[in-house]
Structure 1
Amino acid sequence: MGGEAASTSSSNPHSQPQESGATQHRVESVKRHLSRLVAKSLCAVAADLDVEPMIEVSKSGFGDYQCNNAMSLFSRIRESATNFGNPNAVGQAMADNFPPSRIVESISVVGPGYVNIALSSDWIAQRIQDMLIHGIESWAPILPVKRVVLDFSSPNIAKEMHVGHIRSTIIGDTLARIFEFANIEVLRRNHVGDWGTQFGMLIEFLFEKFANGEEAGNQAIENLQGFYRNAKKKFDENPDFKGRAQQAVVRLQRGEDRYLAAWKSICQISRNEFDLVYKRLNVELEEKGESYYNPYIPRVLEELTSKGLITESEGARVIFIEGQKAPLIVVKRDGGFNYASTDLAALWYRLNVEMAEWIIYVTDVGQQQHFHSFFSAARLAGWLPDKKEEKYPKVSHVGFGFVLGAEGSRFRTRSSDGVVRLVDLLDEAKSQSLAQLIKRLTENGQIADWTDEELDKTSEAVGYGAVKYADLKNNRLTNYKFSYEQMLSDKGNTAVYLQYAHARICSIIQKSNKDVKELKLTESITLGHPDERSLGLHLIQFAEVVEQACDDLSPHRLCDYLYTLSERFIFLSGRVMLNCLSHCTMILAGCRVTGGNEPPVAVPSVGGRHAAMLPPAGHNTSAQAIEVDGCSS
């Protein structure tokens, strides 16, 4: 019962920070480096003011980065600093006081004080070369935390996972991968709904079907949704059954062997179903459900009571939150515990036992009010610093929008319960991917070269990856339309296109006949063409994109970066490659990297000898971005 945890899938080998040479050589992002330089410039111009540097990637075509502090700073100093007649003068003063740095090629001021910063092409090239030597991990962001708890997926026992769980599972897994890339220990927690009054009716219904219900296997509950629905129907319609179910809850809470064994059996049957989904999505979690925290609820409520936070209200025990009309109920009128009491106990455990510095919850936006209330209660208890202080430990709710159908309404099927099973949704993506692959291979006369195993593995990687990426590329707060046709398209910002682009990079490396290891030691990168420099600049911005995705917990930023990287690389390689496979299909190209032999084609290195390391750099960066997104390359 309480205190037991079950692994929902295999333990994550990447969850523990691994010290390496790349870790020791980690460098700060370009944006963070420039912010330090701008801070010194601001201090020289307005030493008595605390001004946060405002650095953005330039979109004007003037320079690579832009500092936008001048206008706001001018409004603060215009009365006292008579030597600044307008924002442009402030910007010019900032430029004049910019500290010397080898990363900066030139600085210019335009318009109302916009300070444009052009980076040194030699420095960009050296930055890329250093990454090739020390590994892509040297570009991992440096964050002020060592351990994060990520609470995501969290389906309910005895209920099928459906499309409503897809966003939490995919977004949570990707956030975990991002933090793990940053060398942070991530505790992936599956907070399943495995406790509560509903288990009384489920156990009693199981006993009616099987005399030894605690020994029932999967055949006892062939359809989880149907089992739950039938048990609920009998609970609502049969007073005698309802009474026995209520007694079953009491016996379960007492820990009686027969009822505890039946509960474990139901949980395991559900767990087996969940694992079908997690295996398809390549998601790893450790299950610590609601029942795990039951033993901690009394001591947590006692602490909150001793601090004067819990009061009686209309027969229930509640915590009043300033600014909220409805209090947070922690003990129901009948004396039972609820979600809030369980969540508070789980938070206490994660802070005091697991010693997490950042606890992140990934659920739909509809639960935002609940998290606001119980986060506020934790701050009142002194468990967390004030929200304005931006100190650790801290908590975050990662809300997300709904999955919609083609017509813009909530995504549903024509089934009796109106819910799409997630495992069926994923298998349909694989099926359509396989059909597309077979069609194209047949048209190209290559179907005979592929084994059934290769077809199966490829369609699986492309189909499941397409579903994941279609979710991740959207801002998590927005709703998105689920469309197999769009997500499996080989054009635009899709997983299929990105897999193709990654395969293209791999192909260039293979066919260039260059020894990448030797190039790292004997050649230096020269970004001689504007397109090469543009690609190089985008490559080195990987660190700050991952850093920003960590900061605002938005995986779509990495998807945007990866798509732009792919477009720029395809454009550059298309400009200089001779006799390339210009009409190679997206899916086929993506497959051929991992299995099979591509037709021979003459492809020189991109940009000549001194840019020959751009493809390896692009490979390292795109491979890491795809890995973090959780999509196969």
Structure 2
Amino acid sequence: MAPMSSLPSKLSQRVEAVAGVDPEMRPATKPQFGHFQSNVALRLAKTEGRPPREVAADIVSRLDLDDLCEPLEIAGPGFINFRIKAEVLAAEAAAVLDDPHAGIVQTDEPRRVVIDYSAPNVAKQMHVGHLRTTIIGDCFHRVLRAQGHTVIAQNHIGDWGTQFGMLIEQITDEGIDASTLTLAEADELYKRAAAHFKADEEFAHRSRARVSQFQGGDEQSLAIWQQLVDVSKVGFDAAYERLNVLLTDDDLAGESTYNADLPVLVDELERSGVAVVDDGALCVFVDGFEAPLIVRKRDGGYGYATTDLAAIRHRVRDLDADRIIYVTDARQSGHFAQVFAAARKAGFLPGDVVAEHVGYGMVLGEDGRPLKSRDGSAAKLSDLLDLAEQNAAPSIAIAAIKYADLSSGLQKDYTFDAERMTKTTGDTGPYLQYAHARCSQILRTAEAQGHAVGAISVLAEPAEHQLALLLSRFGEIVDEVAQSLTPHKLCGYLYELAGAYSTFYEQCPVLRSEGEVRSSRLALCRATQKVLATGLDLLGIEAPERM
């Protein structure tokens, strides 16, 4: 649902009612052309066999926009230019300032949205891949929550599987108290266990046997496993706090959550005929996919597909999800497409429940290759944060990382360049923080000088018009991000708003103006400060009062 306060939406609806087609309203390319333009007459002229300017004149003659626009203009070969009245722009910007949600329209159809994101592995430090899923998922969480939806975060950590056989066996061999480990130490233990498993067949044999004991409920094995989970949670939580994301221990729903349900689910699939035995494995055949989805291996074990099906069933049946969003590496898109199709075939995912996979690209080094540690493994998340903080304070470094991650299309790869990302100029997170701090500074100075913030009432300059127009579009942009899951559009909007504020600041003296002009311009500063702060918060970025 588009926000009712969206000026483009209002204009589009009225023009479409007359023209009969979407006018595809676009911001005007230059101020002299007004605020919006439409090429609807050029498109209709081809089908009607009339000159475009004649079609445009006909549309203009039948349009009633006196309450919104100055007299309409026809330009060039038949473009229709729309210039919003100053008093309408003032009212729209004032509504944003007065709204506790800064113009974000609260949904009249609240949904229960499950977002699956972050998902680090127990006993392993978070790496560069976890950076993107965590930041992107957190942004979706914030945007949908801001609209009034119920958001249920699900951190599907890797806390079950055959790797725990070798981990538990290594701990036993070394006589380690696993509860005393840090996550970094557990990671080193994992590497030692993996090397030991590869080099020592006797150890490998014991590790495989330990898996059966562990998964069979052996108390000693489970106690060590729980210790590994607990020390990992401490490490994960430290990373989440450093990243300023919303995830907590209450959001944990790891692989182990579904362990008891897997044989039940598989039996149900087999009895219903949805799954059939093929070459010794139990499979779900889904139209459009070359290979079947294996839900029980030939050796009786279960894989990711089985757990993912169990998770979908739980999220629909027990969490009452209307919409499920998975945020993982783009390379998993085929897997999730098949899992969703199998879940629908099995009846676990009803037709009225939306399931979406949001894939993301890789983080590259300055050499254009996937970012790696010195040993060739995936770069550690903590190392990336440390690198960014060499160039800026922690809150600014986090802003730089998050904005760089979210501001390009999610499926694109992006280059991690700490020096460029932390600059307060250009298209960066710190630049938006600086714009907010600039608004705050001028408002503090005005208060110290005894100047009051008034109503947005005087919009005489083009820079004031442009700033007010952008402020009025905030709710529309947030709504688009919520529906299409495209945070780069919010980033682009905030960057444009910061640029418009900079132009306004340079061309429209605030403190040196007087009377109603000054109080109105201070109100524009306050509205810009509010929208920037709200928008940055939706990105998970702190909005500082000073920089």
Equivalent-residue separation in structure 2 for 1:607 and 1:487 (angstroms): 37
Map of 1:274 onto structure 2: 236
2:522 aligned residue (612, 624, 627): 612
- The alignment status of 1:574 with 2:544, answered yes or no, reads no
1:5-84 matches, cutoff 5 A:
27-42=4-19, 45=20, 54-59=24-29, 62-70=33-41, 78=47
> 1:554 corresponds to which letter in structure 2?
T
User: How far apart are 1:553 and its partner, in Å?
Assistant: 0.9
Residue 141 to residue 556, structure 1, CA distance change in 2 (3 Å):
farther
Q: In structure 2, the residue corresponding to 1:136 is in which secondary structure?
A: coil
Give the fraction of aligned pairs with identical amino acids, expressed as a percent: 35
Map of 1:624 onto structure 2: 534
Q: In structure 2, the residue corresponding to 1:228 is in which secondary structure?
A: helix
1:168-187 matches, cutoff 5 A:
168-187=133-152
Map of 1:494 onto structure 2: 428
1:265 aligned residue (208, 227, 235): 227
Q: In structure 1, the residue corresponding to 2:161 is in which secondary structure?
A: coil
Give TM-score, length-normalised by structure 2: 0.90
| Cα deviations by residue, 1:275-313 (Å, 9 ceiling, x for unpaired) | 221111011221111111223333433443354321222
User: How far apart are 1:567 and its partner, in Å?
Assistant: 1.5
Equivalent-residue separation in structure 2 for 1:604 and 1:58 (angstroms): 29
1:287-326 matches, cutoff 5 A:
287-326=252-291
Equivalent-residue separation in structure 1 for 2:329 and 2:517 (angstroms): 47
> 2:254 corresponds to which letter in structure 1?
G
> 2:328 corresponds to which letter in structure 1?
T
Is contact 2:159-2:255 (8 Å) kept? yes
User: How far apart are 1:385 and its partner, in Å?
Assistant: 5.9
> 2:380 corresponds to which letter in structure 1?
R
Map of 2:205 onto structure 1: 243
Residue 338 to residue 484, structure 1, CA distance change in 2 (3 Å):
same
User: How far apart are 1:339 and its partner, in Å?
Assistant: 0.6
User: How far apart are 1:417 and its partner, in Å?
Assistant: 4.7
Map of 1:7 onto structure 2: none
Is contact 1:41-1:95 (8 Å) kept? no
User: How far apart are 1:118 and its partner, in Å?
Assistant: 2.7
Map of 2:473 onto structure 1: 541
Map of 1:436 onto structure 2: none
1:408 aligned residue (368, 376, 382): 368
User: How far apart are 1:514 and its partner, in Å?
Assistant: 8.3
Equivalent-residue separation in structure 1 for 2:6 and 2:233 (angstroms): 41
2:357 aligned residue (390, 393, 397): 397
- The alignment status of 1:485 with 2:419, answered yes or no, reads yes
Q: In structure 1, the residue corresponding to 2:50 is in which secondary structure?
A: coil
Residue 481 to residue 603, structure 1, CA distance change in 2 (3 Å):
farther
Q: In structure 1, the residue corresponding to 2:138 is in which secondary structure?
A: helix
Residue 460 to residue 417, structure 1, CA distance change in 2 (3 Å):
same
Unaligned runs of 5+ in 1: 1-25, 46-50, 387-391, 434-458, 579-601
1:360-379 matches, cutoff 5 A:
360-379=325-344
Give the paired residue count.
536
Map of 2:119 onto structure 1: 154
Map of 1:337 onto structure 2: 302
> 2:223 corresponds to which letter in structure 1?
A
1:328 aligned residue (284, 290, 293): 293
Q: In structure 2, the residue corresponding to 1:513 is in which secondary structure?
A: helix
Give TM-score, length-normalised by structure 1: 0.78
Residue 508 to residue 122, structure 1, CA distance change in 2 (3 Å):
same
User: How far apart are 1:608 and its partner, in Å?
Assistant: 2.7
RMSD over aligned Cα atoms: 2.8
Equivalent-residue separation in structure 2 for 1:576 and 1:545 (angstroms): 26
Q: In structure 1, the residue corresponding to 2:141 is in which secondary structure?
A: helix
2:494 aligned residue (558, 562, 574): 562
Map of 1:427 onto structure 2: 386
Equivalent-residue separation in structure 1 for 2:526 and 2:42 (angstroms): 42
Equivalent-residue separation in structure 2 for 1:90 and 1:37 (angstroms): 16
> 2:473 corresponds to which letter in structure 1?
Q
Q: In structure 1, the residue corresponding to 2:327 is in which secondary structure?
A: strand
Is contact 2:182-2:232 (8 Å) kept? no
> 2:378 corresponds to which letter in structure 1?
V
- The alignment status of 1:193 with 2:103, answered yes or no, reads no
- The alignment status of 1:468 with 2:402, answered yes or no, reads yes
Is contact 2:471-2:497 (8 Å) kept? yes
User: How far apart are 1:348 and its partner, in Å?
Assistant: 1.1
Is contact 1:31-1:544 (8 Å) kept? no
- The alignment status of 1:203 with 2:180, answered yes or no, reads no
Is contact 1:177-1:629 (8 Å) kept? yes
Map of 1:224 onto structure 2: 186
User: How far apart are 1:135 and its partner, in Å?
Assistant: 2.4
Residue 550 to residue 111, structure 1, CA distance change in 2 (3 Å):
farther
Residue 87 to residue 201, structure 1, CA distance change in 2 (3 Å):
farther
User: How far apart are 1:407 and its partner, in Å?
Assistant: 1.2
> 2:242 corresponds to which letter in structure 1?
R
User: How far apart are 1:226 and its partner, in Å?
Assistant: 2.3
Residue 331 to residue 58, structure 1, CA distance change in 2 (3 Å):
farther
Equivalent-residue separation in structure 2 for 1:395 and 1:86 (angstroms): 47
Unaligned runs of 5+ in 2: none
